[in-house]
Amino acid sequence: MRMVAVGLAVVVVDQAAKWWVVHRLAPGIRNPVLPGLIYLTRVHNPGAAFGLFPYQHILLSLGALGVLFFAWWRRRDIQRLPAGMRFAIALGLGGATGNLIDRLLRSAVVDFIDLGILPVFNVADVAIVTGVALLSWFVLTGRDVAGPRGSRGGT
């Protein structure tokens, strides 16, 4: 149940931020938050991260739906994972859902966080990248936020 809450929180924050951006910012104009460092720039990305696969929203939507279906199908296995891994998966699934909503409603993803040195991104992207990074760390180190996997009675 906590996984659902984390994923839902990501979707709500992501969609609320995108709603604000769409209703308050003109497309393509850099609005300084911390000049020289952080800007809000409304961009409608018709592709995936870094502009890959432009105008393939149907393919990208089917991919996201496939990931969500796979997680639902393996939910019992996921529930047995350590808490940190479940948290990481929930972040990723919440982010995937947030961007999927955009693709279904707009045929493009609303991006708005502009650091100048990276492509413009959004809250869902941050959740996906953070979830993948955490999950990778847990897998590569054999550790979770609760400690080594073996320290929990062999689970």
pLDDT band at 55 (very low <50, low <70, confident <90, very high): confident
pTM of the model: 0.87
Q: Please check the confidence at residue 150 and state whether its pLDDT lies above 70.
A: no
Are 124 and 95 within 8 A, CB to CB?
A: yes
Residue 122 phi, psi (nearest 5): -140, 180
Q: Round to whole Å and give the CA distance between 38 and 119.
A: 12
Q: How many CB atoms lie within 10 A of CB 71?
A: 18
Asked if 111 is an active-site residue, the reply is yes
Asked if 114 is an active-site residue, the reply is no
How far is Cα of residue 90 from the mean position of the Cα atoms in its chain?
Answer: 9
| Residue indicated by tokens 């948290």 | 87
State the catalytic residue, choosing from 14, 102, 114, 125: 125
What does the pLDDT look like over 60-69, one tens digit per residue?
Answer: 889 999 999 9
State the catalytic residue, choosing from 14, 102, 111, 144: 111
Q: What is the structure's pLDDT at 105?
A: 94
How far is Cα of residue 152 from the mean position of the Cα atoms in its chain?
Answer: 29
Under DSSP, the state recorded for 36 is T
